[in-house]
Structure 1
């Protein structure tokens, strides 16, 4: 292989999704996100492999976490992401394809309660299995 050839890609789409998921969780932890929840979507939806939901104490923290996360994804993984809701920062959606991230102020998060909506299938399956 020539010295200037790009390194071969290792791992498939699953490994890339896991690397992105790990980066998202590390970034949110570094930025002191509150109540981080990760919901696996494989087998539930084809929109992404994971949905990550977290809160910030203020619109300023939510905006800062979103900006840092998008910069880290671009820098570390070379991916561009779509961001919605940044100017207001009550609820910021980051679509990184394999991982969808929702960042909320706590009041807005409790109003929309995405965890309950996406975990409904799991709780229904658990209830059926228990009988």
Structure 2
């Protein structure tokens, strides 16, 4: 970088998105979610920076993970989130703006297969390679 060039600005929104993403992954891991997948959406979609998909063994576990996650986001980051599907808890969607979280029962997850829909990046003219970070 040239001597007189201004220092690059650190985007506070990016830092907040990363903190939220880390909190989501940590919370799901703590609650023993199954098959946690994080899909980076930055540059691919303007709906969010990340989509996180995970499964619970039962509707009770899915509902519990969703409730705990929304509480942690509120307590640690001061954010309110939107939640859909909690009463039935086959598929719960948590929209935290920068991170969208889908929590499924395994059968419902395999039926909708969101990873397949979202986890691809162009590599060549007709070649697609999955881009999925799992934990």
The normalised TM-score by structure 2 is 0.84
Residue 126 of structure 1: how far off its partner (Å): 2.4
Q: Distance in 1 between matches of 2:30 and 2:98?
A: 21
2:91 alignment partner in structure 1: 91
The CA RMSD over aligned residues, in Å, is 1.5
Distance 2:91 2:113 in 1: 12
Partner deviation per Cα, 1:19-65 (whole Å, 9 max, x = no partner): 00000000000000000000000011000000000000000000000
For structure 1, which runs of at least 5 residues remain unmatched after alignment? 1-9
Over residues 108-127 of structure 1, what are the superposed CA-to-partner deviations in whole Å (9 max), with x where a residue is unaligned? 0000000000023x1xx124
Runs of at least 4 residues off by over 4 Å: none
State the distance in 2 between where 1:61 and 1:15 align. Answer: 30
* Larger proportion of helix: 1
More strand by share: 2
TM-score (norm 1): 0.86
Equivalent residue number for residue 101 of structure 1: 101
